[in-house]
Chains A and B, each alone.
Chain A
Amino acid sequence: MTALATQQLIDLSYIAAVIGFILALKWLSSPVSAMRGVLIGEIASGVAVIATLFDPQVTHYKWIIITLIIGAAIGVPLGMVKMTAVPQRTAVSHAFGALSAALIGIGEYYVGTPHLTKFEMLEIGLEVIIGSLTFTGSLIAAGKLQEILPQRPITYKGQNVVSLSTLGAAIVIMLMLMAHPEYTHLFAAMVVVALLFGVMLVTPIGGADMPTVISLLNSYAGFSAALLGFVLNSKVLVVAGALDGASGFILSVIMCKAMNRSFTNVLFGAFGQVQVSAGKVTEERTVRSASPEEAAGILAAASKVVIVPGYGMAVAQAQHKVRELFDGLTKRGIDVKFGIHPVAGRMPGHMNVLLAEADIPYDKLLDMDEINGEFAQTDVALIIGANDVTNPAARTDSSSPIFGMPILDVDKARTVMVIKRSMGAGFAGIENPLYYMDKTLMLFGDAKNFVGAIVRELAGGHE
């Protein structure tokens, strides 16, 4: 086969791959067709990789095969992590994606210099800056999610000025390189500064803001791949990067809306630091608490229960006990549903995956808009490890820092039960008036143990 014919066949395989990518996302619209989507995505990627191995430009195979095997050896354990570790795994994969895009861009620079045009230098510069900052930013996010690094926001005075100047410095160096692409030490400096900026970007962001940050990093990783497609004139990269970037972008917008905040506020606001709790909190208010026995009695008498899970459920690893509770109540003919806030947990969809892993049918998992109309007919709303997403102050108190944030209207249920370790406030340090309502019962304890105790009571009482 001539080189031209081979090249055309490779290009055709890339077009086939792009069709596969688009179908993969299309079929992800529903859980019914989603498996088919993954399969076609796998086939499409496989075809593209195999075709590339036949590219006439590829002359040395040994190390490519070895590194492919190494990649697979790293990928398999990363694909087999426990569902509770999915947020940090996702952050690590954003880091790897951005790393490869950045490294290829750096390689292209060193191959092309000093013969790069201004425009090529601009493309490579932008690509490498975004790839590098996404790499370190994602590593910091992964560290926070794995709790190697503190989850709280780490801030200091003048932080935003320092961070933005760092980004500015990277861009200024890139502009200098456009005039003098042969200054390789400048290029190295640009990479270092961009890496540094990635660290500065994510360090001040708290754990509860991770759903937005992880979505933004997803978006950056996608766009860095798309930019790499511009550099290499590879349309398959442009398409895959644009799809990934668009996906991350939409998720970021959904997460921001769900917290009633803007991108800039998430990135530069360091939520939870600026808030000084209002003076009225000092007034002593009483809460009613209940034992597992009493809680089980109330649940057994209900006909409709909505469970609202939050990050606390994930931390306590309580999802399997929650499944037992779900089974116990369902067996008694009680209608049990789950109300899931978009930012519950540490990444988009986090709660759904944990509950699906615990084998709860997905048609019982309802998102905020679906469930909110049902609270008025609900006998018991049981909140497990969620706080701010249930705070009615977001609806009523215009002085509250979370005023305007869409919440789950649990306070409209006849009885509210809250499983919580203590009376400590949520991530934003905001008091939750829900806890002081007459209809609210506080169930103090570890989520897993408390749910387990309720399950035992229910089983015992039934005999």
Chain B
Amino acid sequence: MPADFISSLFVFILAAFLGLELIKRVSPLLHTPLMSLTNALDAIVVVAAIIIAGRHETKLSTLLGLIAVAASFSNMVGGFLITDRMLHMFRAGKAKKS
């Protein structure tokens, strides 16, 4: 097994356990915004898409990279936007109470 794999596995295991602990604490009230927020965070694959498209190695890889840039960036923009909108609604509820 390559050394890179081992170090990635280390990071993965730590992040997965941290994720389990963090997400267990998210209120069921916010499960829908949780899903759209993690979707937006996951859209960070756009950085890999930019690199594979920008390296310009073969026509095919560039094309696939560019489609991936559009698909993941739309997730990033849309995901943050809708999470923000949803959480504003939850805040409005709180403001009314006070």
A residues engaging B (CB < 8 A)?
A: 14, 17, 21-22, 24-26, 28-32, 34-35, 37-38, 41-42, 44-45, 48-49, 52-53, 55, 57-61, 63-64, 67-68, 70-81, 83, 86, 89-90, 93-94, 96-97, 99-101, 103-104, 106-108, 110-111, 117, 119, 123, 214-215, 218, 221-222, 225-226, 228-230, 232-251, 254, 340, 342, 347-350, 352-353, 356-357, 359-363, 365, 367
Contacts and interface: CB of A to CB of B under 8 A. Distances in A.
Pairs of residues from A and B, 3 with the lowest C-beta to C-beta distance, nearest first: A79-B81, A71-B73, A58-B54
A236 B32 contact: no
B23 to A, nearest CB: 5
Contact of A225 (B42, B80, B92): B42
Contacts of A250: 20, 23-24
B20 A246 contact: yes
A32 to B, nearest CB: 7
B41 A348 contact: no
A251 B31 contact: yes
**Which of B23, B53, B64, B71 has the most chain A CB atoms inside 10 A of its CB?**
B71
Chain B residues touching A, majority SS: helix
Contacts of A348: 28, 31-32, 34-35
18 contacts: A45-B80, A57-B55, A64-B50, A67-B66, A77-B78, A79-B77, A100-B67, A101-B68, A104-B45, A218-B39, A235-B11, A243-B22, A246-B19, A352-B31, A353-B86, A356-B86, A363-B93, A367-B28
B64 A238 contact: no
Contacts of A72: 73-74, 77
Given A59-B55, A71-B73, A107-B61, A78 B78 contact: yes
Given A31-B27, A93-B79, A71 B54 contact: no
B83 to A, nearest CB: 5
Interface string B9-41: 101100111111011111111111111111111
Given A24-B37, A41-B41, 7 more contacts: A57-B55, A76-B81, A107-B68, A238-B15, A243-B15, A347-B35, A359-B96
Contacts of B2: 117, 119
A239 B11 contact: yes
B42 A75 contact: no
A97 B93 CA distance: 32
A38 B81 CA distance: 9
Nearest to A51: B47
Nearest to B82: A79
A96 B67 CA distance: 10
Interface centre among A104, A218, A234, A359, by most chain B C-beta atoms within 10 angstroms, is A104
Interface string B43-78: 111111111111111101110111111111111111
A314 B82 CA distance: 18
B86 to A, nearest CB: 6
A11 to B, nearest CB: 12
B50 A52 contact: yes
B42 A365 contact: no
Contact of B23 (A25, A94, A110): A25
A110 B22 CA distance: 38
Q: How large is the interface on B (under 10, 10 to 19, 20 to 34, 35 or more residues)?
A: 35 or more
A78 B34 contact: no
Contact of B82 (A17, A71, A78, A244): A78
Given A55-B54, A352-B31, A237 B48 contact: yes
Given A239-B15, A247-B35, A367-B29, A49 B46 contact: yes
B67 A103 contact: yes
Contacts of B51: 52, 55, 57-58
A181 to B, nearest CB: 15
A347 B30 CA distance: 12
B16 A233 contact: no
A176 B85 CA distance: 48
A221 B42 CA distance: 8
A383 to B, nearest CB: 19
A21 B41 contact: yes
Contact of B61 (A110, A238, A347): A110
A382 B7 CA distance: 55
A353 B32 contact: yes
Given A233-B4, A240-B44, A361 B97 contact: yes
Most B Cβ at <10 Å: residue of A52, A235, A246, A359:
A246
Given A71-B74, A225-B42, A244-B42, A353 B26 contact: no
A41 B36 CA distance: 12
B73 A243 contact: no
A104 B68 contact: yes
